């Protein structure tokens, strides 16, 4: 089968380049013996560069393998749902039984109490077993992400070098598999992360491996500046929408909107808006919130809000803000917009603060500053920053592969502290890093690639209303 596929690939590739010649040097007839026989000859002049069928076969085999593994994981998630329901029922029954014992202790003897303790221990063991299974599924998802990243890299190379028609079918298979993974992860997240939107935690404790979607919409490695992500407060029916803006310099000239993840991967925007010249932005510090684009402008130096519903532009100037302080790895990021569970923010530095970062809360309807907080962190020593639950997190570059979340400032308590949470970059440099409260992910624009990260928090209160089980 592979040898036939190999020949067809070579032949199709050659035809696409006009490199096959066909002719007959005689008529075809049945031999009757004795005399000379005529023959039909087909000569194929193949190009010097042979189509790498092994790479294509590898992609096909990988896609099949990932599909099978995803089917298994989807089956496991269904089992998890059944187990969780069963465990919740047991916990409710045990809680009711314990309450009866507490109200009327004389009606129960030591044997009754021991039986309840045994049941509690059994439920506890079942829950621990389920937690281990869940962690295993998370590991599988990370492994599949790596495989898919290799697949898309191979397809991109083939698409640029060889006949695109040959690669198109495999790219569609890849997109199907990637969407399956997205759906599987989504169900996994909905089932086991009920805390989205909750700020009942003490902060970030872990960042996942980089999850790479693909190269930017132009499939151009020269588009190193830009950003991508989701609306942090989406309008109804736009919860699945993605946005992207990229350019070859630190400018903001246009933006694309995609109805869902599939269309982002297919590079099929439903809207492509180009900013007029007098409203061009600069830096890589923009976000989308409630269908509005917030970004920096240099003439005059300040903030801009573009409402895509009304197509109205607004600008604001913060008098003390300085254009002399940007992040260490990205020029012209003087203002940096951020959005979290509590609203809209912008950070910047001033001459008065000596380049130390200032946090400002933005009133969205009026597009004015409500309140400001002065930090002690020097902005040019920071590679980027973002907000989560009213807390500023600052990031710095550790080495050629790693970043570190090393500092946080709580605007509620006005307390600052140093922490250490490491995470990997996909490529050497990045120009945009933002948190999105709708899925608790970090979105990074990393040397032209769409990259995102899952975050883990130290939750102090569970978001569910299930009764707690006390084990003595």
- Do 80 and 130 touch, CB atoms closer than 8 A? yes
- Give CB contacts under 8 A, 24+ apart, made by 410-414: 411/359, 411/361, 411/371, 411/373, 414/373
- Residue 305 parent element (H or E): strand 301-307
* pLDDT confidence of residue 114: 78
* pLDDT confidence of residue 28: 35
- Residue 142 parent element (H or E): helix 110-161
**Tokens matching residue 460:** 């102090």
Helical H segments across 2-105, by residue range: 2-16, 53-103
Coil vs helix vs strand at 42:
strand
Helix-, strand-, coil-residue percentages of the chain, each rounded to 5: 35, 35, 30
Q: Cα–Cα distance between 387 and 453 in angstroms, integer?
A: 15
**pLDDT tens-digit profile, the chain (472 residues):** 333 333 333 333 333 333 333 333 333 333 334 444 444 434 434 344 445 556 666 666 666 676 667 667 666 666 766 777 777 777 877 788 888 888 888 777 878 777 778 878 877 777 777 777 766 666 666 776 676 777 666 666 666 655 555 555 555 665 666 666 666 665 655 555 557 888 989 999 999 889 888 889 888 889 999 999 999 999 998 999 999 999 999 999 999 999 988 889 888 999 999 999 899 999 888 999 999 999 999 989 999 999 999 999 999 999 999 999 999 988 899 999 999 999 999 999 999 999 999 999 999 999 999 999 999 999 999 999 999 999 999 999 999 899 999 999 999 999 999 999 999 999 988 989 999 999 999 999 999 999 999 899 987 754 443 333 322 2
Helical H segments across 162-216, by residue range: 164-192
* pLDDT confidence of residue 39: 41
On the question of a cis peptide bond just before residue 194, with omega within 30 degrees of 0, the verdict is no
* pLDDT confidence of residue 193: 58
With both helix axes pointing from N to C terminus, report the angle between 110-161 and 164-192 in degrees, rounded to the nearest 10. 160
Residue 227, by phi and psi: left (phi above 0), alpha (psi -120 to 50) or beta? beta
User: Within 10 Å of residue 336's Cβ, how many Cβ atoms?
Assistant: 28
Question: What is the tally of helices (H) and strands (E) in the chain?
Answer: 5, 24
**Overall size of the chain counted in residues:** 472
Q: Cα–Cα distance between 359 and 342 in angstroms, integer?
A: 14
Hey, CA dihedral for 412, 417, 422, 423, is it positive or negative? Answer: positive
- Do 203 and 408 touch, CB atoms closer than 8 A? yes
Q: Cα–Cα distance between 153 and 57 in angstroms, integer?
A: 14
* pLDDT confidence of residue 60: 65
* pLDDT confidence of residue 461: 55
The model's pTM is: 0.64
In the Cβ-directed half-sphere of 329, how many Cα atoms lie within 13 Å? 23
* pLDDT confidence of residue 259: 93
In the Cβ-directed half-sphere of 235, how many Cα atoms lie within 13 Å? 8
* pLDDT confidence of residue 127: 74
**Tokens matching residue 441:** 């992910």
């Amino acid at each position: 089968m592979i040898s036939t596929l190999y020949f067809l690939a070579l032949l199709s590739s050659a035809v696409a380049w006009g490199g096959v010649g066909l002719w007959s040097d005689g008529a075809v007839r049945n031999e009757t013996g004795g005399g000379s026989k005529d023959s039909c000859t087909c000569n194929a002049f193949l190009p010097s560069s042979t189509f790498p069928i092994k790479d294509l076969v590898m992609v096909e085999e990988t896609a099949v393998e990932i599909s099978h593994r995803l089917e298994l994981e989807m089956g496991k998630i269904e089992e998890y749902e059944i187990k969780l329901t069963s465990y919740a029922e047991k916990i409710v029954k045990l809680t009711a039984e314990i309450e009866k014992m507490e109200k009327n202790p004389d009606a129960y003897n030591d044997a009754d109490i021991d039986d309840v303790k045994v049941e509690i221990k059994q439920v506890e063991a079942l829950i621990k077993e389920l937690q281990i299974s869940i962690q295993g599924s998370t590991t599988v998802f990370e492994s599949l992400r790596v495989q898919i990243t290799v697949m898309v890299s191979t397809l991109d190379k083939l698409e640029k070098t060889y006949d695109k028609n040959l690669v198109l079918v495999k790219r569609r298979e890849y997109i199907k598999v990637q969407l399956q993974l997205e759906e599987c992860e989504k169900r996994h997240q909905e089932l086991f992360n009920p805390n989205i939107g909750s700020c009942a935690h003490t902060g970030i404790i872990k960042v996942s491996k980089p999850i790479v979607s693909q190269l930017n919409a132009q499939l151009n490695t020269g588009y190193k500046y830009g950003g991508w992500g989701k609306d942090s407060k989406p309008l109804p029916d736009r919860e699945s929408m993605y946005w992207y803006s990229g350019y070859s310099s630190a400018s903001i000239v246009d933006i694309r909107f995609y109805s869902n993840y599939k269309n982002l991967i297919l590079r099929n925007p439903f809207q492509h808006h180009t900013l007029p010249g007098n409203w061009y932005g600069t830096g890589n510090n923009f976000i989308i919130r409630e269908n509005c684009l917030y970004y920096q402008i240099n003439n005059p130096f300040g903030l801009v809000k573009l409402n895509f519903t009304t197509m109205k532009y607004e600008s604001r100037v913060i008098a003390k803000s300085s254009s002399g302080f940007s992040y260490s790895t990205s020029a012209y990021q003087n203002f940096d917009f951020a959005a979290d569970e509590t609203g809209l923010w912008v950070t910047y530095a001033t001459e008065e603060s000596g380049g130390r970062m200032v946090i400002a809360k933005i009133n969205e309807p009026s597009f004015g500053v409500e309140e400001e907080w002065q930090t002690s962190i020097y902005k040019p020593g920071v590679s980027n920053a973002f907000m989560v639950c009213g807390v500023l997190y600052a990031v710095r570059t550790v080495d050629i592969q790693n970043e570190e979340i090393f500092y946080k400032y709580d605007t509620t308590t006005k307390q600052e502290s140093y922490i250490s949470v490491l995470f990997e970059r996909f490529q050497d440099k990045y120009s945009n890093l933002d948190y999105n409260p709708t899925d608790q992910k970090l979105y990074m624009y990393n040397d032209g690639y769409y990259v995102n990260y899952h975050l883990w928090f130290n939750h102090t209160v569970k978001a569910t209303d299930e009764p707690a089980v006390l084990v003595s």
